[in-house]
Structure 1
Amino acid sequence: MSSELFARIVHERCTEKVLSEEPLPASGQTLADEILELAAWAPFHRPAHDVHLQDSELTALMPWRFYVLDASSCRKLREELLEKDSSNVIKMLATADCMVQVTWLPNPPQVELPEKSLFEATLENMEHLAAASAAVQNLLLAATANGIRNYWSSGGVLRSPEVFKRLGIPTQEILLGALFFSPQDVQSATIAT
């Protein structure tokens, strides 16, 4: 690939929040396995701690995980959350052809953590978080290169223990973000950049 092509993809990548009060029909466009696989090429310094590889079907060494919902699953999750939340997350679940919950896998703490701390601030955890962020960037750039609108959300209600349980996300994983992927033709939906 030429450096000009890569630069064009980086420059074209932009946040496009696609919002609708009412669910849109699925476009039929899917986030191909090839695009998800590109994210896995992100560099990481150390593998996930063994605690994340036990008692789980997901045994990859990368210190992040992707939980992928197709359009139908997004609409079902929207319905379940509708009474509890009225944020833009609900409006994005109404339009997304795909949503990916990206978590990173902190090492277990070696000391007792302060009450509101999610993880111990260690060099290895910093490396895990940076690696997971690089995987997200790979995924967003791959989506852009394939003409798929994308948005990286901090998650809002999708961080809740109820959503983690619903999606089978272990409680020791930390949500890095919810990535929404929407089609180019968004009908009557609003696009916010």
Structure 2
Amino acid sequence: MSLYSASKLPSAVRTATVGLQAVRAVSSTAPSKYAKEVPSDRQGAVGSAPAEKKPLLKTFKIYRWNPDEPSKKPFLQEYTIDLNKSGPMVLDAILKIKNEMDPTLTFRRSCREGICGSCAMNIDGQNTLACLCRIDREAGKETKIYPLPHMYVVKDLVPDMTQFYKQYKSIQPWLQSTPPEDGKEHLQSIDERKKLDG
């Protein structure tokens, strides 16, 4: 009790206070039915490292072709990685393979955010971006990766983009002014800016 003696309190309050103290005393010594039992082999193991996850192995079959070896035909090379030690996307797996297993594997990648399109390839029969394609975690199922179809291959998963850029240039995908630009900059007044801002 704090400032007041139990004898100076009204009887109802005194009873409630004494009852609460009794409950606290019992609850501090009695085992709770909600308390978890610590296994004997774990007692005293506070702060010990968690058990390592069982490896989740995944096999990737990746198209390989090297122009420096023209007599050698294209082939699929197998790589097996532990998905617990890789990111969730196919690009993460390919980067892991290149960094830790086979530095000769060649592919394009840049933003890793599904914007630039550099990592476009054919994954399990679907043309997609490797940075946006999640790894299929189904056990025993292989993932096959090819370069984009209908394009010449420069090396491994790298397609030749020459024709693509020719077509891209032919449609002139940029703002074109009428009359043609005179080489001076376009000045914008405050009122014109307000029209754009709505």
Q: Same fold (TM over 0.5)?
A: no
Q: Which has the higher contact order (CA 8 A, sep 6+)?
A: 1
More helix by share: 1
Name the TM-score, length of structure 1 as normaliser. 0.20
